[in-house]
Structure 1
Amino acid sequence: MARSRCYTCRIKSCSFLKDCSKNVLEEISDLKQHFTFERGELIVRENEEINGVYFISSGVAKVMLNDVQGRPLIIRLLQPGEVFGHRINNKHKIHPASIVAIEKTNICFVPLSCFLKFFSSDKTFFQGVINQYLNDVRDVELRTLFLAYKTVRQKVAGAMLQIAKAYQYQHDAKGIRIHLERQEIADLASTTKEQVSKILFDLKSEGLINFRAKHFKYINTEALQGILDGSG
């Protein structure tokens, strides 16, 4: 893959690089590497040592953990512009979760030495990473509440909202063709495949979504958000 420049990258504004100077971005551009992962390929493994920071430039990946019973749990979906591998310090040097490609996914990899250099020397870079940390913590808090208190219908609605966001669903487009199996949606919603299928058909009969197999032609994101919030 041809080496792209961070300064002109269209997804730069989605990550903690958005406010960095051109000099910082140019140096990162010179040092970064590009990798491509096909569907189902492991990008990083839980408890592996962190050796760099990964930015998703295209595609969709899933963040996975196993619960106490060994069942896979999808924590969230990663879309273009998102980053992982940045949560590192002297006491935390391993990946807290596994990352697996859901579809063909292109990654920009920044070596750890480069990341740590700017984290220590550039105030804008440092603040961007700290803001990313805070966003990550908030996501974990919301996920904990989601799993503890939401009904199955709310969980499936929330999973569909995550999918719509990851695949950049737009109401005026032709829908989205996802690469998730029903079991993966169940792992994202923390429920069963049978419950997912039932509720998806319920939502379809209510006119809130329209789909055929993995092609979701219509998703009423406002109505799904209402279900998730308990007002719909």
Structure 2
Amino acid sequence: MTTQVGCSSCLNTDCLIKKNITSEIMQELALAKNTIICKKNQQFILEGTPINGLFFVYKGKAKVLKTGIYGREQILRFVKDGEIIGHRGFGIQKNYSIGASTLEDTILCNFSNETLNEMLHKIPSLTLDFMKFYAEELNRSESKVKTIAQMTVREKVVDTLLYIHRKFGVNHKEFLNIQLKRKEIADFAGTTDEQVIRTISALKKEGLLTIQGKKIGIPNLNLLRKEISEHNYFLDS
């Protein structure tokens, strides 16, 4: 389903397009974008399909994933309002090397390759912002690979829960502001569903987590952070 939402009225101040919307050229080019409304669990990027520009999350939540060995999904990251999806292959590949699907009803802004290339050629401030964004992404990716390789299963699960907390925050009942399946937690942490279930159960018994169905709460952030303090949990924000 498609509709149209304007960049000028967008509240996502961290969005690279929104940050540069004061440019008259940007305002003109932004009119060329497509707005896509997706239902929960809808896949909007299929791994291996031709690249059709970049997606920016106008409102909602999604996961970015890649098919690993034996066809198992590996969740690379979760995304929220104002964040970019599909940037790793932009300009250098013909097909998406990742897939992406929504975690709730989500509104996406899609800019074609042609529109983005024109923006980057005509708006230096946007080009600079993209360069900084890619540098930060590379730094986070390298740090995560190094850290995860040194973690135990328990530490991987704790790191994932802290990442989700930093990314999405908590709701009015102090539970993480997103409900994920245990499999999704496992696919991001790089472990199995069974290990996630056992670890979460152990953390609950120790008072480090509160659980209500799929809802997960962290009663004391500092105590949970101590579990992985030697790995610099804050690297992947």
Q: TM-score, normalised by structure 1?
A: 0.87
Which residue of 2 is the match for residue 210 of structure 1? 210
Matches within 5 A, 1:181-220: 181-220=181-220
Question: What is the root-mean-square deviation of aligned Cα atoms in Å?
Answer: 2.4
Deviations 1:158-194 (A, max 9, x none): 1112222333326x75423533211111111111111
Structure 2, gaps ≥5 residues long: none
Q: 1:225 to 1:151 in 2, by over 3 A?
A: same
Which residue of 2 is the match for residue 223 of structure 1? 223
Secondary structure of the equivalent of 1:94? coil
Structure 1, gaps ≥5 residues long: none
Give, in angstroms, the shift of residue 157 of structure 1: 0.8
The answer as to whether partners of 1:178 and 1:214 remain within 8 angstroms in 2 is no
Kindly tell me the number of residue pairs found equivalent between the two proteins.
230
Task: For 2:187 and 2:127, locate their aligned partners in 1 and report how far apart those are by CA, in whole Å.
Answer: 34
What code does the residue aligned with 2:192 have?
A: T
The answer as to whether partners of 2:170 and 2:177 remain within 8 angstroms in 1 is no
Matches within 5 A, 1:171-182: 174-176=174-176, 178-182=178-182
Task: For 2:136 and 2:169, locate their aligned partners in 1 and report how far apart those are by CA, in whole Å.
Answer: 20
Task: For 1:198 and 1:224, locate their aligned partners in 2 and report how far apart those are by CA, in whole Å.
Answer: 16
Which residue of 1 is the match for residue 114 of structure 2? 113
Percentage of pairs with the same residue? 25
The answer as to whether partners of 2:40 and 2:104 remain within 8 angstroms in 1 is yes
Which residue of 2 is the match for residue 155 of structure 1? 156
Give, in angstroms, the shift of residue 74 of structure 1: 0.8
Task: For 1:105 and 1:61, locate their aligned partners in 2 and report how far apart those are by CA, in whole Å.
Answer: 8
Q: 1:173 to 1:42 in 2, by over 3 A?
A: same
The answer as to whether partners of 1:63 and 1:99 remain within 8 angstroms in 2 is yes
Q: Does 1:56 align with 2:52?
A: no
The answer as to whether partners of 1:77 and 1:162 remain within 8 angstroms in 2 is no
The answer as to whether partners of 1:4 and 1:29 remain within 8 angstroms in 2 is no
Task: For 1:219 and 1:55, locate their aligned partners in 2 and report how far apart those are by CA, in whole Å.
Answer: 32
What code does the residue aligned with 2:75 have?
A: I
What code does the residue aligned with 2:85 have?
A: F
Which residue of 1 is the match for residue 16 of structure 2? 16
Task: For 2:80 and 2:14, locate their aligned partners in 1 and report how far apart those are by CA, in whole Å.
Answer: 10
Task: For 1:90 and 1:186, locate their aligned partners in 2 and report how far apart those are by CA, in whole Å.
Answer: 31
The answer as to whether partners of 2:51 and 2:90 remain within 8 angstroms in 1 is no
Matches within 5 A, 1:40-119: 40-88=41-89, 91-119=92-120
The answer as to whether partners of 2:55 and 2:86 remain within 8 angstroms in 1 is yes
Give, in angstroms, the shift of residue 57 of structure 1: 1.5
Q: 1:105 to 1:145 in 2, by over 3 A?
A: same
What code does the residue aligned with 1:150 have?
A: M
Give, in angstroms, the shift of residue 21 of structure 1: 4.3
| Runs of 4+ that moved beyond 6 A | none
Q: Does 1:142 align with 2:143?
A: yes
Q: 1:210 to 1:53 in 2, by over 3 A?
A: same
Give, in angstroms, the shift of residue 4 of structure 1: 2.8
The answer as to whether partners of 1:42 and 1:99 remain within 8 angstroms in 2 is yes
Deviations 1:63-103 (A, max 9, x none): 11122232211111111111023345654232221111122
What code does the residue aligned with 2:50 have?
A: E
The answer as to whether partners of 1:6 and 1:25 remain within 8 angstroms in 2 is no
